[in-house]
Amino acid sequence: MVDQDLRPFFAAASAGLTFNAPLGEARAADLVRRLAPDGPHWRALDLGCGNGELLLRLCHAHGIDGDGVEREAADGERVRRRAAELGIADRVGFHAADATTWDRPAELVVNVGASHIWGGTEQALAALRPLTAPGGKLLFGEGFYRTEPTAQVREIFGDMTDLASLARLAVAAGFRTTHVAESTLGEWDDFESDWRAGIEALGTPHARAFADRRRDEYLGGYRGTLGFAWLVLTAA
């Protein structure tokens, strides 16, 4: 949950990002390929879609329709602009809504960096299973601990599983794991730098202090400890 006072910083941080996650172009292209529909009439659904870039690329690459659900209504403007650029404005719907209220399943479901919508990893997987049509695919992008976190890191991110336990949770929720990978340190470094750049651009002392704190927390704390997993799951 983001502190209300910090919301403008988080909005500034994400404004210039292509993806609000440690995701480079090569992996994005690989994931789009791995998430190709297995049959006709597939529909995509991204819950907590942010600016919707991944959803738009999936719909564009595979010629399918889709829905993005996002609490921040302001993201809708970018989704609509990008959809128009890609020539798929009539095929992608943006819904400014709380994703916990969404109840229409889809064959291709995306949830990246947004398990907190349901209160954590296990709850998210439980909610996402009935939203993934039988035989459909879920892209679950989720944080995990690569190594034992320090007390300070655990205070920031709370309890998280390791990668093996994360995959086991997905299986326990009724998915099969088709592909499991993690963001590289390079993807993390780029993400953190680009994220801070949006805050630096605000130029105020308060913004700089916030960016400095985040840099120290990363470089002196969670760099290499906090991982980000990319799970392509099939609804068993």
Ligand X SMILES: C[S@@+](CC[C@H](N)C(=O)[O-])C[C@H]1O[C@@H](n2cnc3c(N)ncnc32)[C@H](O)[C@@H]1O
- Cβ neighbours of residue 121 closer than 8 Å, sequence gap 6 or more: 115, 142, 160, 161, 166, 169
The CB-of-16 to ligand X minimum distance in angstroms stands at 12
Quick one: which H or E segment has residue 125? helix 121-131
Tokens of 28: 């994005």
Report in angstroms how near the CB of residue 211 gets to ligand X at its nearest. Answer: 17
3 state SS of 113: coil
Among 64, 69, 139, 232, binds ligand X (CB under 6 A): 69
Contact flag: residue 112 with ligand X (CB under 6 A): yes
Phi-psi label, residue 41: left if phi above 0, alpha if psi -120 to 50, beta otherwise: left
CB of 134 to ligand X, least distance (A): 24
* Residue of 48, 76, 143, 149 interacting with ligand X (CB under 6 A): 48
| Smallest separation (angstroms) from ligand X to the CB of 23 | 7
Round to whole Å and give the CA distance between 167 and 144: 11
Q: Does 99 bind ligand X (CB under 6 A)?
A: yes
Is the CB of 98 or the CB of 212 nearer to ligand X?
A: 98
Which residue's structure tokens are 């990002």? 17
Tell which one of 67, 70, 107, 192 touches ligand X (CB under 6 A). Answer: 70
Q: Which of 49, 106, 109, 153 binds ligand X (CB under 6 A)?
A: 49
Instruction: Name which of 130 and 134 has its Cβ closer to ligand X.
Output: 130
Contacts of 174 (CB under 8 A, 6+ apart): 129, 235, 236
CB burial string 13-22: b at 16+ within 10 A, e below = bbeebebbbb
Residue 113 binds ligand X, judged by CB under 6 A: yes
Q: For ligand X, which is the closer residue by CB, 52 or 136?
A: 52
Judged by the rule CB under 6 A, the positions of this chain that interact with ligand X are 19-21, 48-50, 69-72, 98-100, 112-114, 117
